[in-house]
Amino acid sequence: MEVLVAFGFKVYFPENHSALIGARKIADDYIPVANAVGYSPEICSYLTSDIGAYLRNETPLKDAYGVSSIPKPDVLAVNTNQCRDLYEWFSFFGRRFDAPVFSIHPPKYLDEVEEHHVDDVAVQYEDMIAQLEKITGERLDEAKLKEAVALSLEATELWKGFLDTAVHVPSPLTFFDGTIHMAPIVVMRGLQVAVDYYKQLKAEMDERLENGIAAVDDERFRIYWEGMPVWGRLRKLSEQFVDLRTCLVASTYCNSWVFDDMTPDDPIRSMALAYTKVFVNRSEPAKERYILDEIKRFKADGIIFHDARTCPANSNASYGMPARMMEDHGIPTLTLDGDLNDLRCWSDEQATTNIEAFIEQLEER
């Protein structure tokens, strides 16, 4: 992101477009369209929603902003620190628009991120910069890169400050607020507008804290959400948790968009470190340590794991983690089967009943 900003590109994020499609509950119209051209129903439903919408020549951006289609890219840049699907997704658009796809492939499943991992990724950044210089015909302006990294760092610290207000009991925010307010830290890093947004948001949260305003009246239980949001069920779930006087105080999904290893003094290596260190790219024990620290910090009573069918990369219920959390650490857990965008994988009845039973279990403790 920061490199593209420094070159003066306007950056567009297909992931954000897909989340919008999911939240508008129209993904099921598009996923089969992508399936029909060979993209499996089992792969990322962000990918299939977005490609399907493109093939149907439709976008929710039209109603929201009067933008009739996704922009035509000059270049596509992707970091596979989350998963392979991103690369395949961007490659689809690379072929469609006859545009080059540049990719960074950090080493995966890291327990600790070591110097040689950072060296590897930093070299990949240098290569990408050299390619972009050829395409744009301009040398990368180091001052602009430092400025973009400084703005990303400032936005990231403010975003963290916003999320951390939820350590207070009762919490002034919920995970559902986080899913809405995270857009700038995802798509506007490196830009002043993200800093301005989070300054305003943080001030509002401080005011809520000062006035003792809770996100959930009479908060009884505090839960950690692990995994992707169910975009088409944000409202329904948030209302159920309000009724249960339970606050989802933190989540890996929102809380891992904190890139505080970045520093303008060493932009390339610090970006390499920050983007390689992301939660999704780490070993199972590293993820477990992260979640345990967060549970403690946010004083959570339990964890809900969302096992998203088409996003194994961002689902952590498949390798025994919920059982280990319960048996080794005494933390109650619930696993909900579902998906980020494909609502055919989600059952309202089952989720409602399982959540109610989980909260009853917490009441009995």
Q: Can you give the binding site for ligand SF4, defined by CB under 6 A?
A: 44, 46, 82-83, 85-86, 311, 313-314, 340
**3-class secondary-structure state, position 69:** coil
Task: Kindly state the smallest distance separating residue 260's Cβ from ligand SF4, in Å.
Answer: 21
- State the burial class of residue 65 (Cβ atoms within 10 Å of its Cβ: 0-12, 13-18, 19+): exposed
Q: Which is nearer to ligand SF4, 85 or 226 (CB)?
A: 85
Task: Kindly state the smallest distance separating residue 100's Cβ from ligand SF4, in Å.
Answer: 20
Dihedral of alpha carbons 27, 28, 32, 38, sign? positive
Check: CB of residue 224 under 8 Å from CB of residue 302.
yes
Q: Which is nearer to ligand SF4, 27 or 355 (CB)?
A: 27
Check: CB of residue 78 under 8 Å from CB of residue 86.
yes
Per-residue CA distances from 165 to 174, 225, 235, 345 (Å)? 10, 16, 22, 33
Alpha carbons 76 and 47: distance in angstroms, whole number? 15
Q: Which is nearer to ligand SF4, 79 or 238 (CB)?
A: 79
**3-class secondary-structure state, position 115:** helix
Give me the DSSP letters along 161-193.
Answer: HHHHGGGSSS-S--HHHHHHHTHHHHH-TTSHH
Q: Which is nearer to ligand SF4, 16 or 240 (CB)?
A: 16
Q: Which is nearer to ligand SF4, 16 or 263 (CB)?
A: 16
Q: Which is nearer to ligand SF4, 232 or 267 (CB)?
A: 232
Closest CA to 73 of 44, 51, 94, 55: 94
Task: Kindly state the smallest distance separating residue 309's Cβ from ligand SF4, in Å.
Answer: 10
Task: Kindly state the smallest distance separating residue 83's Cβ from ligand SF4, in Å.
Answer: 3
Q: Which is nearer to ligand SF4, 61 or 186 (CB)?
A: 186
Task: Kindly state the smallest distance separating residue 30's Cβ from ligand SF4, in Å.
Answer: 14
Closest CA to 301 of 238, 244, 352, 259: 244
Task: Kindly state the smallest distance separating residue 89's Cβ from ligand SF4, in Å.
Answer: 7
Q: Which is nearer to ligand SF4, 86 or 317 (CB)?
A: 86
Task: Kindly state the smallest distance separating residue 22's Cβ from ligand SF4, in Å.
Answer: 10
Task: Kindly state the smallest distance separating residue 347's Cβ from ligand SF4, in Å.
Answer: 20
Structure tokens at 295: 């549970």
Alpha carbons 44 and 30: distance in angstroms, whole number? 13
Amino acid in the structure at residue 184: P
